Amino acid sequence: MKISTLSIGDELICGQVIDTNAGTVASLLLAEGLRIQRHLTVGDNEQDIIGALNDLGRVSEVIIVTGGLGPTADDLTSRAAARATGRRLVVHEEARAHVRQMSGRLNNLIVCPLNDKQAMIPSKSVLIPNPNGTACGFHLMHNGSFMFFMPGVPAEMTVMLRDTVIPYILERAPRKRIIRAASLNLFGPCEAEVDELLQGIARPEQGLTLGICVAFPWMKVTLRAEAERESAVEALLASALQTARNRLLEYCFSSGDTGMDDAVAELLRNSGLTLSLAESCSGGLIAKRITDIPGSSGYFSEGVVTYSNEAKKRLLGVSAELLDNFGAVSAECAAALAGGVRLASGSDLGLAVTGIAGPDGGSGEKPVGTVFISLAAPDGCWTERFQFSGSRADVRTLTAWTALDRLRRYLLKR
Amino acid sequence: MKISTLSIGDELICGQVIDTNAGTVASLLLAEGLRIQRHLTVGDNEQDIIGALNDLGRVSEVIIVTGGLGPTADDLTSRAAARATGRRLVVHEEARAHVRQMSGRLNNLIVCPLNDKQAMIPSKSVLIPNPNGTACGFHLMHNGSFMFFMPGVPAEMTVMLRDTVIPYILERAPRKRIIRAASLNLFGPCEAEVDELLQGIARPEQGLTLGICVAFPWMKVTLRAEAERESAVEALLASALQTARNRLLEYCFSSGDTGMDDAVAELLRNSGLTLSLAESCSGGLIAKRITDIPGSSGYFSEGVVTYSNEAKKRLLGVSAELLDNFGAVSAECAAALAGGVRLASGSDLGLAVTGIAGPDGGSGEKPVGTVFISLAAPDGCWTERFQFSGSRADVRTLTAWTALDRLRRYLLKR
């Protein structure tokens, strides 16, 4: 089944906003064994939308369109869809009732004015219910292609796709071959090293392919198996996955959609240990990532962002002498921060980072990107120096990732 | 000039990685008055890449391609480009020297093995230098279209685009009409309210268009002016921008690429005041955003993430009695945290948040999404209750945005 997606929006084609919908649609379809072949983006321009629908119509049995169904004048998708398929634009009574009902319910701070524009869709279309917003979606059949139209708001689109569009496609899709994918997430090695480690695992002639995707600062290795029977696909995938795991060892921090933060959270939860943080150059980024995870209050007691030397002394008992002798960016200071926060908070583990994120503040001996990471635990304290490169944001990102990875490796070994 | 972009990668078409390159290319071209008409994405499949190049070739004078030039076996762009344009794939000596030279220099932790594959490009192509990575880009002319090929790594691609591709296009572009865009960034109102406020500003017949783009939890209003003379474009845009500003007032926190964090940072810098933070439900997210900005150590002294009641008492002197009587999620506690961190750190301003991010922990009286934000300043202390909706991540995002917006409004009024 040939499936294409089309994202519509001036903000997308002009690069002001990154299109996340195309990725969401692709992931959810892939989970059902359906692959997208083409993804196209055009602006809020009627001729461009009509051209895109016509072109995709020639090569696709299914076209999934997002965006341009809003209440404002620059939202042109319904009108373009009507023109492209030779239909009239009509007020859909059910859609109108929906728009009126939702307008009152949303935005607990501000109630938006009503707008019947969102109730106008091409004639002989079927509504796609939108439980989370005013814009109705719709679908229609034109020249042998199913066309689905949904609003661009990600939270609304995702529910409509999952509840209506995908079930509709699956009912009509001839599922001859079964595709399953599995992925491993890595931190540490470079792309060529991973390629070397995974030599020979991909066997395209047997339906097993492998992709490596660099997503700074981590990497995803995806294995895809394709066969006619479910059992064959599962066996193919399981064996390749095991081989890959055996070769990648500690580089692999999780599989599938589990991120580094979730992986660390699970290890912490299972360990029964509590954690506190002292952050200097990462400025709260590690605390943010730890507390992103629901239930983190079970193991995370407190974090301090000690940007000033004064705060390092008062909050964590780092001595003035140590700061004078070694400086705030030093292995000694990192260890004192980790030990200090562990002691002050009474938690089992103290994780601390101090470094120079840049763009200024570097020296010959300690250039921008110099970072010390220290972990204080009941059985020891480990402090290590790193030299990261890149922008201020890169250095902070690498600092947080590396600190979380050290914590992960400690918890794994326990 | 008709310009299209093409992103290549299984990770993109399968939705594992969000494509940011298309947006970067579009933004940088738009800054030069060049508009992208179509953006297409396909996977690492030779036939799909060839099909995409052929189809885009029919409607585009310029095609900018990113991705698929890496060292691994799944990178197929060079070969597909050669097939699509009827050329041979040859080892380019200059490219080979570059690959060898860069391989040694990159990855200060791990040196990657050499790989000549990256030096193979279609015959009669011109190299695009890549100062930041091993993969060389190249460009060629085929059937009246200029085709530019660059690696997908954003940092590498951006430099190649800016230094080589854009100058090359500009030299050949017939610049008949001048396009200038300007944007205002808003926090607070809903889309329909903004549409209402901006009624009548767009005058497409005079070359002035307006777009509203919702980028949770903020919004971007973009004004685009198009005319034949530079002075006419500037005048059209300046007048529309002034009208929009006058109507949007305090909703507008910045213009152009300046984010909320930059806007707050600038106000703080100019105020000469220092800031400290006490975060509960936002768990370091506000500190992270404050310290994202270079130079933040000039006004930010410290932040504490007081997840446990114990930490609230010990670090910020919140009394046990207050916590017993009102609870940790209360206006009283928020005010005590803001005042406490201001006092303990000796900074001018103390900003504190406490709330229930969810998914658990809500009650009838204080459901998930209940958040108290407090700002303690030399001239008073303001505490406000908010009811946010959405996921844990949404509530945390809204909490940080609203807290920063309160701080911004305070600094503006001073």
Report, as an integer, the average pLDDT of A245-254: 95
Please give, rounded to a whole number of angstroms, the shortest distance from the CA of A139 to a CA of chain B.
23
Please give, rounded to a whole number of angstroms, the shortest distance from the CA of B294 to a CA of chain A.
7
pLDDT over 90 at A223, yes or no: yes
Cβ distance B211 to A38 less than 8 Å, yes or no, reads: no
Percent of chain A at pLDDT exceeding 90: 69
Cβ distance B16 to A27 less than 8 Å, yes or no, reads: yes
Token pair recorded at residue A168: 């509709």
Please give, rounded to a whole number of angstroms, the shortest distance from the CA of A405 to a CA of chain B.
16
Residue type at position A272: G
Q: How confident is the model at residue A6 (pLDDT cuts 50, 70, 90)?
A: very high
Neighbour count for residue B65 (Cβ, 10 Å): 29
pLDDT on residue A115: 61
Token pair recorded at residue A54: 């016509």
Q: pTM above the 0.90 mark? A: no
pLDDT on residue A411: 96
Among residues B47, B45, B32, B34, which one has the least CA distance to residue B4? B34
User: Distance (Å, rounded) from C-alpha B160 to C-alpha A194?
Assistant: 26
Q: Alpha carbon of A192 to those of B17, B103, B123, B161, B414: distances in Å?
A: 19, 10, 26, 25, 55
Q: Which residue of B has its CA nearest to A151?
A: B214
Q: Which residue of A has its CA nearest to B303?
A: A305
Note whether B61 and B158 are same-domain residues.
yes
Nearest-by-Cβ selection for A15 from B30, B115, B211: B30
Question: A190 in contact with B at a CB cutoff of 8 Å?
Answer: yes
Q: Which residue of B has its CA nearest to A185?
A: B16
pLDDT on residue B352: 97
Question: A12 in contact with B at a CB cutoff of 8 Å?
Answer: yes
Residue type at position B92: H
User: Distance (Å, rounded) from C-alpha B344 to C-alpha B340?
Assistant: 6
Report, as an integer, the average pLDDT of A58-77: 90
- The sign of the torsion formed by the CA atoms of B221, B227, B230, B231 equals negative
CA B183, B188, B193, B194: dihedral to nearest 10 degrees?
0
Question: A215 in contact with B at a CB cutoff of 8 Å?
Answer: yes
Q: Which residue of B has its CA nearest to A306?
A: B302
Q: Per the domain annotation, does A264 fall within a domain?
A: no
User: Distance (Å, rounded) from C-alpha B143 to C-alpha B131?
Assistant: 30
pLDDT over 60 at B105, yes or no: no
Q: Tell me the sheet residues that pair with A77.
A: none
Report, as an integer, the average pLDDT of B201-208: 90
Q: Phi and psi dihedrals of B198, rounded to 5?
A: -100, 10
Q: Which residue of B has its CA nearest to A192?
A: B112
Helices within B145-224 (DSSP H only):
154-160, 166-172, 191-197
pLDDT over 90 at A108, yes or no: no
Q: Which of B191, B198, B397 to mutate to test the interface with A (most CBs of A within 10 A)?
A: B191
Angle, CA of A342, A292 and B22, to the nearest 5°? 130
Question: A409 in contact with B at a CB cutoff of 8 Å?
Answer: no
Please give, rounded to a whole number of angstroms, the shortest distance from the CA of A260 to a CA of chain B.
15
Report, as an integer, the average pLDDT of A16-25: 88
Please give, rounded to a whole number of angstroms, the shortest distance from the CA of A300 to a CA of chain B.
7
Question: B37 in contact with A at a CB cutoff of 8 Å?
Answer: yes
Note whether B36 and B162 are same-domain residues.
yes
Please give, rounded to a whole number of angstroms, the shortest distance from the CA of B100 to a CA of chain A.
14
Q: Read off the pLDDT of residues B344-374 as tens digits, 9 standing for 90 and up.
A: 999 999 999 999 999 999 999 999 999 999 9
Question: B315 in contact with A at a CB cutoff of 8 Å?
Answer: yes
Neighbour count for residue B380 (Cβ, 10 Å): 8
Q: Read off the pLDDT of residues A336-373 as tens digits, 9 standing for 90 and up.
A: 999 999 999 999 999 999 999 999 999 999 999 999 99
Number of domains in chain B: 3
Regarding predicted confidence, which is higher, A248 or B97? A248
Phi/psi region, residue B252 (left: phi>0; alpha: psi -120 to 50; beta: rest), is beta
Residue finishing a domain among A230, A255, A280: A255
pLDDT over 90 at A94, yes or no: no
Helix (H/G/I), strand (E/B), else coil: A137: strand
Q: Per the domain annotation, does A262 fall within a domain?
A: no
Residue finishing a domain among B124, B151, B172: B172
pLDDT on residue B175: 65
Cβ distance B305 to A277 less than 8 Å, yes or no, reads: yes
Helices within A60-124 (DSSP H only):
77-84, 93-105
Length of chain A: 414
**Cα distance from N-terminal residue to C-terminal residue, chain A:** 49
Chain mean pLDDT for chain B? 90
Q: Which residue of B has its CA nearest to A51?
A: B38
pLDDT on residue B108: 38
Token pair recorded at residue A318: 């780092």
User: Distance (Å, rounded) from C-alpha B59 to C-alpha B144?
Assistant: 10
Helix (H/G/I), strand (E/B), else coil: B48: helix
Question: A258 in contact with B at a CB cutoff of 8 Å?
Answer: no
pLDDT on residue A214: 80
Note whether A145 and A187 are same-domain residues.
no
Q: Per the domain annotation, does A356 fall within a domain?
A: yes
Q: Read off the pLDDT of residues A184-212 as tens digits, 9 standing for 90 and up.
A: 999 998 888 898 899 999 998 899 988 88
Percent of chain A at pLDDT exceeding 70: 96
CATH number, domain with residue A213: 3.30.70.2860
pLDDT on residue B32: 83
Question: B180 in contact with A at a CB cutoff of 8 Å?
Answer: no
Note whether A142 and A201 are same-domain residues.
no
Question: B389 in contact with A at a CB cutoff of 8 Å?
Answer: yes
- The sign of the torsion formed by the CA atoms of B134, B135, B137, B138 equals positive
Report, as an integer, the average pLDDT of A244-271: 95
Cβ distance A288 to B291 less than 8 Å, yes or no, reads: no
Report, as an integer, the average pLDDT of B408-414: 93
Note whether B23 and B167 are same-domain residues.
yes
Where are the strands (E) in B187-313, listed by range?
208-215, 218-227, 252-255, 275-279, 300-306
Angle, CA of A54, A34 and A131, to the nearest 5°? 80
Which residues in chain B have Cβ-Cβ distances shorter than 8 Å to A195? 71-73
pLDDT on residue B393: 93
Report, as an integer, the average pLDDT of B378-398: 93
pLDDT on residue A175: 64
Neighbour count for residue A387 (Cβ, 10 Å): 14
User: Distance (Å, rounded) from C-alpha A67 to C-alpha A72?
Assistant: 12
Q: How confident is the model at residue A374 (pLDDT cuts 50, 70, 90)?
A: very high
- The sign of the torsion formed by the CA atoms of A277, A283, A289, A293 equals positive
Q: Per the domain annotation, does B327 fall within a domain?
A: yes
- DSSP conformation class of B215: E
Question: B288 in contact with A at a CB cutoff of 8 Å?
Answer: yes
Question: B131 in contact with A at a CB cutoff of 8 Å?
Answer: no
Note whether A324 and A338 are same-domain residues.
yes
Note whether A90 and A194 are same-domain residues.
no
pLDDT over 60 at A110, yes or no: no
pLDDT on residue A104: 56
pLDDT on residue B133: 85
pLDDT on residue A114: 46
Helix (H/G/I), strand (E/B), else coil: A18: coil
- Asked, as a colleague might, if the bond just before A122 is cis with ω within 30 of 0, I would say no
Q: Phi and psi dihedrals of B398, rounded to 5?
A: -65, -35
pLDDT over 60 at A107, yes or no: no
CB A361 within 8 A of CB A395: no
Q: Per the domain annotation, does A352 fall within a domain?
A: yes
Cβ distance B292 to A304 less than 8 Å, yes or no, reads: no
CB B60 within 8 A of CB B29: no
Q: Alpha carbon of B365 to those of A221, B171, B326, B327, B374: distances in Å?
A: 47, 65, 12, 12, 20
Report, as an integer, the average pLDDT of B186-213: 89
Q: Per the domain annotation, does A232 fall within a domain?
A: yes
Which residues in chain A have Cβ-Cβ distances shorter than 8 Å to B9? 213
Report, as an integer, the average pLDDT of B85-101: 88
pLDDT on residue A30: 84
Question: B294 in contact with A at a CB cutoff of 8 Å?
Answer: yes
Among residues B296, B202, B13, which one has the least CA distance to residue A73? B202
Cβ distance A108 to B389 less than 8 Å, yes or no, reads: yes
Question: B222 in contact with A at a CB cutoff of 8 Å?
Answer: yes
Note whether B17 and B152 are same-domain residues.
yes
Nearest-by-Cβ selection for B307 from A300, A305, A344: A300
- What residue numbers bound the domain in which A243 lies? 178-255
- DSSP conformation class of B161: I
User: Distance (Å, rounded) from C-alpha A140 to C-alpha A156?
Assistant: 19
Q: How confident is the model at residue A70 (pLDDT cuts 50, 70, 90)?
A: confident
User: How would you label B334-344 residue by residue, b for 16+ Cβ within 10 Å and e otherwise?
Assistant: bbbbbbbbbeb
CATH number, domain with residue A21: 3.40.980.10
Q: Read off the pLDDT of residues A153-162 as tens digits, 9 standing for 90 and up.
A: 898 999 999 9
Note whether A189 and A78 are same-domain residues.
no
Please give, rounded to a whole number of angstroms, the shortest distance from the CA of B184 to a CA of chain A.
12
Chain mean pLDDT for chain A? 90
Please give, rounded to a whole number of angstroms, the shortest distance from the CA of B93 to a CA of chain A.
21
Helix (H/G/I), strand (E/B), else coil: B404: helix
CATH number, domain with residue B385: 3.90.950.20
Residue finishing a domain among B148, B172, B196: B172
Cβ distance B108 to A389 less than 8 Å, yes or no, reads: yes
Note whether B200 and B232 are same-domain residues.
yes
Helix (H/G/I), strand (E/B), else coil: B375: strand
Only one residue has tokens 């034949």, namely: B228
Q: Alpha carbon of B121 to those of B50, B83, B85, B96, B157: distances in Å?
A: 15, 11, 12, 10, 17
Percent of chain B at pLDDT exceeding 70: 96
User: Distance (Å, rounded) from C-alpha B117 to C-alpha B75?
Assistant: 10
Helix (H/G/I), strand (E/B), else coil: A120: strand
User: How would you label A328-345 residue by residue, b for 16+ Cβ within 10 Å and e otherwise?
Assistant: bbbebbbbbbbbbbbebb
Q: Which residue of A has its CA nearest to B214?
A: A153
User: Distance (Å, rounded) from C-alpha A351 to C-alpha A69?
Assistant: 48
Q: Which of B190, B196, B277 to mutate to test the interface with A (most CBs of A within 10 A)?
A: B190
pLDDT on residue B104: 56
Token pair recorded at residue B217: 């939890």
pLDDT on residue A109: 36
Report, as an integer, the average pLDDT of A405-412: 96
Half-sphere exposure at residue A172, Cβ-oriented, CA atoms within 13 angstroms: 14
CA A199 to chain centre: 28
Token pair recorded at residue B300: 């930010």
CA B412 to chain centre: 24
Cβ distance A287 to B288 less than 8 Å, yes or no, reads: yes
Percent of chain B at pLDDT exceeding 90: 69
**Long-range CB contacts for residues B263-271, cutoff 8 Å, separation at least 24:** B263/B408, B264/B290, B264/B404, B264/B407, B264/B408, B264/B411, B265/B290, B265/B293, B265/B295, B265/B296, B265/B299, B267/B408, B267/B411, B267/B412, B268/B299, B268/B300, B268/B407, B268/B411, B269/B295, B269/B298, B269/B299, B271/B411, B271/B414
User: Distance (Å, rounded) from C-alpha B41 to C-alpha B49?
Assistant: 9
CA A325, A328, A331, A334: dihedral to nearest 10 degrees?
130
Neighbour count for residue B356 (Cβ, 10 Å): 22
Note whether A149 and A15 are same-domain residues.
yes
A212-226, A317-331, B55-69: which has the minimum mean pLDDT? A212-226
Report, as an integer, the average pLDDT of B3-31: 90
Question: A159 in contact with B at a CB cutoff of 8 Å?
Answer: no
pLDDT over 50 at A106, yes or no: no
User: Distance (Å, rounded) from C-alpha A37 to C-alpha A176?
Assistant: 17
B56-60, B161-165, B188-192: which has the minimum mean pLDDT? B188-192
Which residues in chain A have Cβ-Cβ distances shorter than 8 Å to B213? 9-11, 16-17
Note whether A19 and A80 are same-domain residues.
yes
Report, as an integer, the average pLDDT of A307-335: 91
Q: Per the domain annotation, does A260 fall within a domain?
A: no
Q: Per the domain annotation, does A263 fall within a domain?
A: no
Q: Widest CA span of chain B, in angstroms?
A: 80
